[in-house]
Structure 1
């Protein structure tokens, strides 16, 4: 305890029950006029207030416990007093949910320990005060006791119950509840108080609400409906009319069960009764539930309470911190190794480079090899030659099809029918594009020396297509040469290709006030010229400040298609969507189909929660402030806008790290050139296409950040959104 703090006890009455508040206070917060006794000796630092007529309101407790105490009079055979105790806890700010649960569980364990169990009320309160002195996390404890009548048989003693309280703000912002264990359960009972739109998500991975999550919405649509969704803001799988289901004035009890992969929800505290929602989860969407998260919406704040029965083993569970830390460290190294192989794909990497870039010590090489072998068992990587590893697509990540590892590309009988090529640069982008291709087969030319290539052939609509991925093993000039060579190789092998689509991620160009000009995360930008003489893609090579502070000169290079086929198709889709905003957009269903296909454990293509799309503005002094996204004046914004779904924008795609990553240059350059998104300098690829005689291209960028597409959180979903728009374009050709 802080040397400037004291523990103060205040006793009072509440609803005819005895209440004792124990709290740690700074000395300047204590009114010494109210102090009745200052303890000394072993109880130094404890102050006793005079009995209070009433105690000030300190807000809702953050956790509580209930138990029954049986006090037996040693001079009597039959006299037994039964008291029902409730302990309420408040905690220091900044402490996490698991830390809080551990703190109040250990506090209670020591309080009722058989070894030091107090024999009377006074001893019990003294012990509670001393334990609060020792705690670094618990700030305040209230003990409320009421006498109960009647005897209970020993085998019917009420259990010790632990209650976890969660407060959710008036925004769609999930609060994870790790202190409520669900991995060993198949149901939960809880109560909630909110005006409407209470969200409860059951997840496979802590912190991940997109990949494997079932979302239950209580009181949606202004407290008139309830839903079960597949993932956060995902497709609705079950629906019910539930008028006035929630209340902002009182708690309402509910239960949720997931036994046998059936998600069911009902009213009350008795599982199985008053059910109003049910969804039988299909095999491809089933997973083990490990964690819980809750939220409310803009309708108002929420308060949730979850109860657990505490058993003896809960008081003696020891956390093996060192083993957990080591396990997490190796998980991070495994992800790093996988990421390196994904970037290099289709090129293999030697094991010494993998270990060096993953910071694996020489003494840990055997462990790292075992980890690579484990990834190989899962089908995620393959050792193509001794000491050389390459990333592989698994059937859990993309639909099953023929994949051949070849030394040289075979003669493809129908290659002359392939008129459309799709180029990607990231592994997530390749997975997303391949999920859109039917009847596909993949050829992986994997070389430990020289250039590796990968081509997936198949069909989109009535068109034969080919997709490929650039290796990102190199950086700087080497990477640019690889991009140019990849374009040359593609057009050389598939010499009948007439249309090339660059599909992947980029950085959105937002507008802080005008919704009609605002591009945000999860949206897609299609490269179209802003006017008849405009370009589709612009690269900034150099920036020069104009003397006198009059602005900047930008040295640029631009590209545009002379063949307008793809642009005409794009314009047709744009006109359809904007003229009929209430109808389904051609990419909506494709996004959902893609999420069903791309269900691998190592990849998440679900949309991140909307609260993770944070918009910032740089002020004149260089500081950054977070601001609200501009909102549409009408429900659909006049251009096919749907909340939480993909919106497509049309304009120039820009590049050049100088302008993409400096906020003031970024906005100025975008405004001058009609840029809606930036990407990671793929100008060398366009030069290669231009050198190969291609005169019809389209750049489609799903927005994963507000820079140039380098941040990872939104990247898989943005890649999937871009791939879905690509398929809509090709299908319409």
Structure 2
């Protein structure tokens, strides 16, 4: 910052909120009245910082609408008393006239990201304001001429809460300890038996089509055998699970639109009758959503006691014959790697006429706190797009820290060598720009009707459940507000918005916000999932050169942290997949065809 400029802070109290106006101003423009308002002028390392007396000052309305606004709830814990304090903090930016939209959102985001670095995040009120003022002195933020910081103390009900549902680890539900949870831990008031029953159903859905013994289930849900047997009987009465002759249990798929055939050996299909499109899912709700998009479908199930079972649903999407399957486990321990890779290889070996592979389901969005257009919301859909780098998926298998503290990532990258799907995607993008036509809206509505009888609720959850939190170290959590449309327009209107980008994964990313966001920035990653590198190894190893990811956003981590949004996000992704497959023959679908 030039010597003739100062950064001036003026506090104002308005109702319950405290407003802190921070502005950069030239000394040459000071009037006598302004000099009289000074309360403290910094020296030494704080030279150039000025604190004014509290004043009514300039109303925010006088400044006009802020060009960028970031809001977040700051969840703080008093280390001595353990008492929780929740503050709402809003940062509003006004820029010089020469700053365009990209300059504004980039400067605002970089300012915010530096302000909230976990290693030096100011935990107290004064430190936070001082850091804002010090950052305003930096030349990289010279485009910002004024900032208004609004701080308001909230009640405990407004605090960020930990996820309601247990995180799935290695495909199986497993609750976190209190120390691992973010924010306030919600007490589950339900009877223990009901909690066990829910866990059992989730475990059997994750394992499907594999069979699990009573011993397996007792170990996984960590409950006594008598309770497990009682709840298994209750699930059987509800027709949600089946017991097999082997003594094991499996999820019972309730789909009156699909014929189910249990086979001892998978059928042999002649070359001209084989499906040409394969769809791979990992979660039970994903498989049902994908199958809801198909017509004239039959599911063939081969159960194998003590091994990996297979479930293939064969049907039509338009004129294209498709086969869908579900991975019995997902994750990156050794057994999950072998399972997901083997399932993929077996699928593509059984159906050797496959031309295109879709990996469809849920994932976690990479948030962008200032740019509305880049920020994915829960329920939005991300499609892999290789138009920029060629690669659509980066898997990080190792994180290294150098002696100087620099972090490097060992990655494996995957790209489709056949450009057919990318060409289809480019055509769809052009069509949307010209006509704003979104056929997936109808397919979502149709899917909701077909899936209405399922145990899971595929309806879109209430918007207030789309909460974005960030861990900033030492047990502190902030809850971010989502960026607003520059013109205040609601483009979503209860339906998903489509994004295009690159996917990433890594074992440590689901619980490390700072690493995940750093990796996303370096590799231009837009979404994270639960580690599909072994699936892609199976696809590439089977010499399938055309593949695409289509994922609905169910959280802001890896897709497995917020189960409430998973069914709807999976349905949205499946509906977009159907739109893409139908566009193979004619990308310009008539709107009349969808009425």
Which band: TM-score by shorter chain? 0.5 to 0.7
Name which structure has the greater RCO, CA cutoff 8 Å, separation 6+: 2
Structure-1 residue corresponding to 2:527? 677
The change in CA–CA distance for 1:473 and 1:452 in structure 2 (over 3 A counts) is farther
Structure-2 residue corresponding to 1:495? 352
Structure-1 residue corresponding to 2:508? 658
Structure-2 residue corresponding to 1:700? 550
**Aligned mates of 2:410, 2:253 — CA distance in 1:** 41
RMSD: 2.6
Worse-superposed segment, 614-623 or 439-448: 614-623
The within-5 A match list for 1:129-528 is 328-364=191-227, 367-375=230-238, 378=239, 380-395=240-255, 399-413=256-270, 416-472=273-329, 476-528=333-385
Q: Deviations over 1:88-129 (max 9, x none)?
A: xxxxxxxxxxxxxxxxxxxxxxxxxxxxxxxxxxxxxxxxxx
Displacement after TM superposition at 1:546 (Å): 4.2
**Aligned mates of 2:518, 2:390 — CA distance in 1:** 17
The change in CA–CA distance for 1:664 and 1:356 in structure 2 (over 3 A counts) is closer
**Aligned mates of 1:360, 1:447 — CA distance in 2:** 26
Q: Does 1:718 align with 2:569?
A: yes
Query: TM-score, with normalisation over the residues of structure 2?
Result: 0.63
Displacement after TM superposition at 1:613 (Å): 0.8
Structure-2 residue corresponding to 1:554? 409
Confirm or deny: 8 A CA contact 2:271 2:353 kept in the other structure.
no
Confirm or deny: 8 A CA contact 1:382 1:389 kept in the other structure.
yes
Q: Deviations over 1:173-198 (max 9, x none)?
A: x99xxxxxxxxxxxxxxxxxxxxxxx
**Aligned mates of 1:353, 1:403 — CA distance in 2:** 26
Which protein has the bigger helix share? 2
Structure-2 residue corresponding to 1:534? 390
Q: Indicate the SS of the match to 2:417.
A: coil
Q: Deviations over 1:551-580 (max 9, x none)?
A: 421111101111111111112222222333
The change in CA–CA distance for 1:695 and 1:636 in structure 2 (over 3 A counts) is farther
**Aligned mates of 2:249, 2:548 — CA distance in 1:** 33
Structure-1 residue corresponding to 2:541? 691
**Aligned mates of 2:534, 2:261 — CA distance in 1:** 29
Displacement after TM superposition at 1:500 (Å): 0.3
Displacement after TM superposition at 1:621 (Å): 7.5
**Aligned mates of 2:438, 2:540 — CA distance in 1:** 32
Query: What residue ranges of structure 2 are gaps of 5+ in the alignment?
Result: 1-156, 159-163, 165-187, 585-595
Q: Indicate the SS of the match to 1:418.
A: coil
**Aligned mates of 1:437, 1:501 — CA distance in 2:** 14
Displacement after TM superposition at 1:659 (Å): 3.4
The change in CA–CA distance for 1:691 and 1:509 in structure 2 (over 3 A counts) is same
The within-5 A match list for 1:29-48 is none
Structure-2 residue corresponding to 1:146? none
Structure-2 residue corresponding to 1:121? none
Which protein has the bigger strand share? 1
Q: Indicate the SS of the match to 2:206.
A: helix
Confirm or deny: 8 A CA contact 2:331 2:531 kept in the other structure.
no
State the number of aligned residues. Answer: 400
Structure-2 residue corresponding to 1:610? 463
Confirm or deny: 8 A CA contact 2:330 2:340 kept in the other structure.
no
Confirm or deny: 8 A CA contact 1:445 1:453 kept in the other structure.
yes
Q: Deviations over 1:620-659 (max 9, x none)?
A: 877322221111123668xxx4232101110101011223
**Aligned mates of 2:214, 2:351 — CA distance in 1:** 33
Structure-2 residue corresponding to 1:277? none
The change in CA–CA distance for 1:667 and 1:576 in structure 2 (over 3 A counts) is same
Query: TM-score, with normalisation over the residues of structure 1?
Result: 0.52
Q: Deviations over 1:40-60 (max 9, x none)?
A: xxxxxxxxxxxxxxxxxxxxx
**Aligned mates of 1:363, 1:597 — CA distance in 2:** 36
**Aligned mates of 1:428, 1:606 — CA distance in 2:** 12
**Aligned mates of 1:659, 1:329 — CA distance in 2:** 31
Q: Does 1:577 align with 2:432?
A: yes
Displacement after TM superposition at 1:489 (Å): 0.7
**Aligned mates of 1:363, 1:651 — CA distance in 2:** 49
The change in CA–CA distance for 1:365 and 1:495 in structure 2 (over 3 A counts) is closer
The change in CA–CA distance for 1:732 and 1:386 in structure 2 (over 3 A counts) is same
Displacement after TM superposition at 1:592 (Å): 1.3
Q: Indicate the SS of the match to 2:548.
A: strand
**Aligned mates of 1:719, 1:480 — CA distance in 2:** 23
Confirm or deny: 8 A CA contact 2:210 2:307 kept in the other structure.
no
**Aligned mates of 1:401, 1:620 — CA distance in 2:** 49
**Aligned mates of 2:294, 2:461 — CA distance in 1:** 25
**Aligned mates of 1:328, 1:409 — CA distance in 2:** 43
**Aligned mates of 1:619, 1:329 — CA distance in 2:** 33
**Aligned mates of 1:722, 1:649 — CA distance in 2:** 11
Displacement after TM superposition at 1:401 (Å): 1.9
